Amino acid sequence: MKTQTKLAIILGFLSTTLVVVFGISVYYFLDKYSYVDFYKRLEARVSIATQYSLNSGTLNAKYLKSLREQHLEALEKEKEYLIEVSPKTSFQEIAQKNNLPVNFLISLSKVGTYNEKQGNLFIAGSHYKKGNKRYFVIVSAENYYVSNHLIFLRTVLIGGISMVILIVAIFSFYFSKHIFDPIKDITDKVKQISTENIHLRLENNINKSIEISELTNTFNELLNRIETAFEIQKNFISNASHELGTPLTTIIGEADFSLLKPRSSEEYTIAIKNILQQAERLNEITKSLLFLAQTGYKGKAITFEMVRIDEVIWQTKSLIDKLNPNNKILVDLRLLPEDPKKLKVNGIQQLLHLAFANILNNACKYSNNKPVTVHIASSNSQVIIIVEDQGIGIPESEIDFIYDPFFRASNTNLFEGHGIGLPLTRNIVSLHKGDLIVSSQVNIGTKVQIRIPLIKI
pLDDT at 439: 93
Quick one: which of 373, 412, 367, 415 has its CA closest to 390?
A: 367
Q: Are the C-beta atoms of 398 and 410 separated by less than 8 Å?
A: yes
- Measured at the CA of 438, the angle between CA 435 and CA 443, to 5 degrees, comes to 165
Model confidence at 332, in pLDDT bands (50, 70, 90)?
very high
Domain of 227, in residue numbers: 210-295
User: Same domain for 221 and 98?
Assistant: no
Model confidence at 221, in pLDDT bands (50, 70, 90)?
confident
Give domain status of residue 149, yes or no: yes
User: Same domain for 270 and 312?
Assistant: no
pLDDT at 301: 53
User: Same domain for 250 and 287?
Assistant: yes
pTM of the model: 0.45
Q: Are the C-beta atoms of 173 and 8 separated by less than 8 Å?
A: yes
Q: How high is the mean pLDDT of the chain?
A: 79
**Residue type at position 325:** P
Task: Among 92-96, 287-291, 297-301, 446-450, name the most confident range.
Answer: 446-450
Q: Which of 154, 178, 195 is the last residue of a domain?
A: 154
> Is the model more confident about 297 or about 319?
319
pLDDT at 40 over 60: yes
pLDDT at 299 over 50: no
**Residue type at position 407:** F
Task: Among 46-55, 205-214, 320-329, 400-409, name the most confident range.
Answer: 320-329
Give domain status of residue 176, yes or no: no
Neighbour count for residue 402 (Cβ, 10 Å): 17
Using CA atoms, how far apart are residues 108 and 85, in angstroms rounded to an integer? 12
Residue 241: CATH number of its domain: 1.10.287.130
Which element (helix H / strand E) includes 27?
Answer: helix 3-54
Using CA atoms, how far apart are residues 342 and 407, in angstroms rounded to an integer? 35
Model confidence at 73, in pLDDT bands (50, 70, 90)?
low
User: Same domain for 131 and 224?
Assistant: no
User: Same domain for 130 and 216?
Assistant: no
> What's the total number of domains in the chain?
3
Which distant-in-sequence residues (6+ apart) come within 8 Å of 390 by Cβ?
A: 367, 370, 371, 372, 444, 445
> Is the model more confident about 341 or about 19?
341
How would DSSP label each residue in 378-440?
Answer: E-SSEEEEEEE--S----GGGGGGTTSTT---TT-TTS---S-HHHHHHHHHHHTT-EEEEEE
> Is the model more confident about 24 or about 442?
442
pLDDT at 57 over 70: no
